[in-house]
Amino acid sequence: MIVRKSAEEAFRAFADPTVTSRFWYSKSSGPMVAGAELRWEWETYGASVDVRVKEVQEGRLIRFEWGNYEQPTTVELRFTPHAAGATFVEATETGFQGSGDAVVRWVNDTVGGFTTALCAMKALLEHGIELNAVSDHHPA
């Protein structure tokens, strides 16, 4: 997704929980720094996940593992400068395990989740609007 902000601003949106909690999760135990072991919470859903930050390249890359640590997946967030001060933000998740149908459901959920989070981040950074898209995505 192209975000019309600098790579540094887009990167900070994911690295700094005071920003990220405005568009993705509701709480984090800390910032995305290499070696951090974090806990993210989505209070609306009563859900949480453990996160291990594997690599951080300021303004360029965040790589982390999350989920069930017997079968974690790896997420890579890339921030590539684009024309006129914009940034291409790309989320890639790898390492899915299990049966065909289970993996397809898992991939479908993650694609939808990251698409929603990226759209919400774009609205926040470009227009100052908090969409509540993640918290409203699966109403009770």
Whether residue 38 contacts residue 50, with contact meaning beta carbons closer than 8 Å, is answered with yes
Whether residue 31 contacts residue 25, with contact meaning beta carbons closer than 8 Å, is answered with no
Is 0.85 surpassed by the pTM of this model?
yes
Is the per-residue pLDDT at 70 higher than 90? no
Is the per-residue pLDDT at 140 higher than 80? no
R_g of the chain computed on alpha carbons: 15
Whether residue 28 contacts residue 66, with contact meaning beta carbons closer than 8 Å, is answered with no
Q: In the structure, what pLDDT confidence band is assigned to residue 112 with cuts at 50, 70 and 90?
A: confident
Is the per-residue pLDDT at 87 higher than 80? yes
